[in-house]
Amino acid sequence: MAQSTFRIFFSTGAWLVLAFLLLPILVVIPVSLTDTSYIGLPKEGLSLQHYAAYFQSPGWMAATWTSIWIGLVVAALATAFGTAFAIGCWFLSDRASTVARWILITPILVPPVVQSLGFYRFWVTLGLIDTNFGVILAHTLLALPYVSISVFAALANLDRRIPQAARSLGASVWQTVRAVVVPAAIPGMITGAIFAFIVSFDEIVGVLFITVRNVTTLPKKIWEGIQEDIDPTIASVATMLVVLTLIVTAIRILRK
């Protein structure tokens, strides 16, 4: 079949746009291997010095672990609360539960700086500033919309007559939820948990407002690095995260 200009325009255009999405992300890779002490492409040869600097820096290591464990706690909490919420709303499916669902997604729409201001003032009165718990609470709130949306989407495929059948055969509400609804919600829970982890792992504005010196997450460390001195260590951290993302994405494509 002959390629029309119409098709050529859209196909070429699409690949150019996809290149625009991908290539800028990849520049961190050569930069991380630079043999210079400033940000730039390698001059005389490749060097792993900035990776060594990352792994030998107690500050970077501590920030990485903090982000990982806080992300895991947030994923667990948000998935538990968000799944219960979505299942309850799915059963109710009335006007009040729709209002509740709208309330739960407000964090998606409110500008990050505005919500962080709110967090800061309230966390001061609660004594949560610069505590791990304060960060976990804030991140759980920000992650809840994603969990509730993905679990609700998973339940859209569940036939309402199945839990009704379970109930009429004598199962209690809890038994029905456990044996019928939760299994149907699992794909949504997994997506939601991954989203929740990433929301927490990447979150920066809230952390800038509600932490001082005690709690430092990876994004905060990167932010400070960019603000103060642009240090190629950031490029090595960025490269590891980008390569990890590429590997996960490649595995997912190949498994399809």
Partner 1 sequence: MPRFSDKFRYWALVLPALAIMIVFYIWPLLGIWVISLNEPVVGLGNYAKMADSNAVKTSFVITFRVAFVTTIGCLILGYIVAYAISNFAGRVKPLMIALVLLPFWVSVLIRSFSWIVLLGRSGIVNDALRGAGIIDSPLRLMHNEFGVVLAMIHVMLPFAVLPMMANMRGISSSYVDAARGLGASEWTAFRKVYFPQTMPGVMSGALLVFVLSLGFYVTPALLGGGRVLMISEYITYQIQEFLNWGLGSALSVTLLVATALVIAVAARFVNLRSALLERG
Q: Which of residues 7-46 bind partner 1 (CB under 8 A)?
A: 7, 10-11, 13-14, 17-18, 20-22, 24-25, 27-28, 31, 39-41
State yes or no: residue 229 binds partner 1 (CB under 8 A).
Answer: no
Cβ at position 141, least distance to partner 1 in Å: 5
Q: Quick one: which of 76, 81, 132, 133 contacts partner 1 (CB under 8 A)?
A: 81
Q: Which amino acid type is present at position 108?
A: I
State yes or no: residue 89 binds partner 1 (CB under 8 A).
Answer: yes
Count of residues of this chain found to bind partner 1 when the rule CB under 8 A is applied: 88
Cβ at position 28, least distance to partner 1 in Å: 6
Count of other CB atoms within 10 angstroms of residue 150: 25
Expressed in angstroms, the distance from the first to the final Cα of the chain is: 28
Give the residue with the Cβ less far from partner 1, 18 or 46. 18
- Identify which range of 44-52, 54-62, 68-76, 242-250 contacts partner 1 by CB under 8 A: 242-250
Q: What secondary structure, in 3-state letters, does 41-83 show?
A: CCCCCCCCHHHHHHHHCHHHHHHHHHHHHHHHHHHHHHHHHHH
Give the residue with the Cβ less far from partner 1, 68 or 204. 204
Integer CA distances (angstroms), 31 to 26, 172, 225, in order: 9, 60, 15
DSSP type of residue 4: P
- From residue 188 to residue 227, the character string flagging contacts with partner 1 as x (rule: CB under 8 A) and all else as - is ----------x--xx-xx-------------x--xx--x-
Count of other CB atoms within 10 angstroms of residue 160: 11
What length does the chain have? 256
Cβ at position 248, least distance to partner 1 in Å: 8
Integer CA distances (angstroms), 115 to 59, 73, 107, 138, in order: 28, 21, 8, 10
Cβ at position 178, least distance to partner 1 in Å: 12
* Residues 93-122 contacting partner 1, CB under 8 A: 97-98, 100-115, 117-119, 121-122
Q: Which amino acid type is present at position 42?
A: P
Cβ at position 48, least distance to partner 1 in Å: 18
